[in-house]
Structure 1
């Protein structure tokens, strides 16, 4: 079973091993860059929150989730499938997000998407299981694995902030695309998730110095 990122002790262990494997990560740590756990609930509730938050502001996502939770009690796949499209639209979900979450709910109920057992899989295997569901892309899968499940090796290589942070930290001429960043991240296994958190923390630090919103 994978050791999940559920405590500061595990995060500290991952940071220590990254620092030994990668001088740039060691330099970031020495400069005071400190990532946080920032976990959300696992299971259907956590995945639904991530889907709802796609391509909208945090404030909008929070408002939609608050309205949805008023009718989604408990927040389970079965209850979600019993809600009408009109109820979900009234809560603020787009047609695309309704389709995605209905697909997720059906896959969980049928046993094809074992959300409760993904921690027993490698990050790559769990990623593949999630992205087989129509509407769940690579970024959504990796963010769920990292922030809801706490998988230490999940790596959202398509995240623009992670890409930009890597460009700055490693002195690259241009922002690496997902394929390039995935290759770079091989040196961080089995702590790619901790490396992603480190890069997010570095990105926030740089932007705060620039006075830009983060």
Structure 2
């Protein structure tokens, strides 16, 4: 069984491949649905996104309220338009018309500009968030316009690799849990939180696995 890291050890990315596999083995011993699902689809791959950065936040904006495929398309266009140079000054120098042509809505353009200004003036330093506990990371990120709890949880999972983050509002998590647990209806946030409570302290691994299961399990399951 894995032992969680000490409470003050926040810097290291913990959702490594080794952690995912060992955590899921532990959860499979506790939960027959996870055990059966793991036998069907196997382990998910590590989803580390590099060092915490401005780029992570742009990815989150692109992904808000969109499918994974649509978000990837829009982010790819943005990356190409920036020539892979993720500096806030570059985005701030682009016109709204250019950003709209990449697929960003007017609302998301506003979020991206607010983010860029915060990074440029130093009121948000993405790398420094790695030194903070989860609740403080959420507090800092949700100060930004357009960034709610879901956005903060995506950063915690994929930029910081925090091991016990459970994005209960995520529609993919809810739909995946619906299938994983053979529920009659898709669970709401409250039910999603309740189901995952026994999975502590490995809810980050569980979240990545639920997404993986939802994407890969045969429909008849």
With normalisation by structure 1, the TM-score equals: 0.80
Return the alpha-carbon distance in structure 2 between the equivalents of residues 167 and 154 of structure 1. 19
Partner of 1:109: 120
Give the counterpart of 2:104 among 69, 93, 100.
Answer: 93
Unaligned runs of 5+ in 2: 1-8
Return the alpha-carbon distance in structure 2 between the equivalents of residues 145 and 114 of structure 1. 14
Return the alpha-carbon distance in structure 2 between the equivalents of residues 4 and 146 of structure 1. 9
Unaligned runs of 5+ in 1: none
Give the counterpart of 1:131 among 138, 142, 148.
Answer: 142
Matched, 1:4 2:37: no
Partner of 1:51: 61
**Residues 1:125 and 1:18: Cα distance change in structure 2 (over 3 Å):** farther
Return the alpha-carbon distance in structure 2 between the equivalents of residues 121 and 127 of structure 1. 10
Kept after mapping to 2: 8 A contact 1:119/1:151: no
Structure (1/2) with the larger helix percentage: 1
Return the alpha-carbon distance in structure 2 between the equivalents of residues 100 and 146 of structure 1. 21
The worse-fitting range, judged by mean Cα deviation, of 54-63 and 73-82 is 54-63
Kept after mapping to 2: 8 A contact 1:4/1:10: no
Give the aligned CA root-mean-square deviation in angstroms: 2.8
With normalisation by structure 2, the TM-score equals: 0.78
Partner of 1:145: 156
Give the counterpart of 1:33 among 31, 35, 42.
Answer: 42
Kept after mapping to 2: 8 A contact 1:44/1:75: yes
